[in-house]
Amino acid sequence: MSNAFDIGARLLYRDALLLVIDKPAGLPVHPGPRGGETLTDHLDALRFGLPRRPEAAHRLDRDTSGCLALGRHAKALARLGKLFSGSGVDKTYWAIVEGGPAEEAGRIDLPLARRSDDPRSWWMKADPAGDPSMTHWRVLGRAGGRTWLELKPVTGRTHQLRVHCAASGWPILGDAIYGGAPRGSALHLHARTLSIPLYPKRDAITVTAPPPPHIAEAVAPLAAQAAISRAPS
């Protein structure tokens, strides 16, 4: 990323309370201890006449691409915060994993805790004494020793999808923390869709982000094989 990064071109949805952008992989949302460029550096470009910049209403890992919701002002952030902290928002992710489950769909119910007491560390581990964490998954395609999964987190723990997949025996492709990928690999995890019931008397706002090139390339053979499998014999 650079200051030439055009965040406006990645705007997927806009109304008086909410913006949804397609966050690129590799760009952290908030400043960290090491400094460097963050999404926050670019949010002034999304004021659209308001006195303050929008702010992220939930977390999305630096290496995860896709839908990120922004509240346009304090009241909007408060309303979105309640939805995201509960179970009001339906979140759908795509992941390409190494290997894959034997079944076609299922649920991972595995508590998570931090690996370290160091407040600067966000690495997680499966821990029976940790916070309850649940993910629903469904197979979208299989080919070449990889599986394309749809993941729906019920809870929103840090690195939940990455730890749940790795602990199940099928780490996400490119995961250098919880899998065996080399450092600097592209993580194949994408926040595909958000469905946000922001307005009580309207349908939920549903926004979908296109997969970035590295995920689209990995999905192509899996989607092709899935189409062959579904074709009538």
**96 burial type by CB count under 10 A (0-12 exposed, 13-18 middle, 19+ buried):** buried
135 and 150 in contact (C-beta within 8 Å)? no
Alpha carbon distances (Å) from 214 to 9, 133, 200: 19, 28, 37
Mark whether 203 is an active-site residue. Answer: no
Nearest by Cα to 60 from 27, 88, 82, 108 = 27
Active site residue: 15, 22, 41, 61, which one? Answer: 61
CA 88 – CA 204 distance, rounded (Å): 10
Structure tokens at 66: 């896709």
**Beta bridge partner(s), residue 124:** 114
**Beta bridge partner(s), residue 13:** 20
Residues classed as catalytic: 61
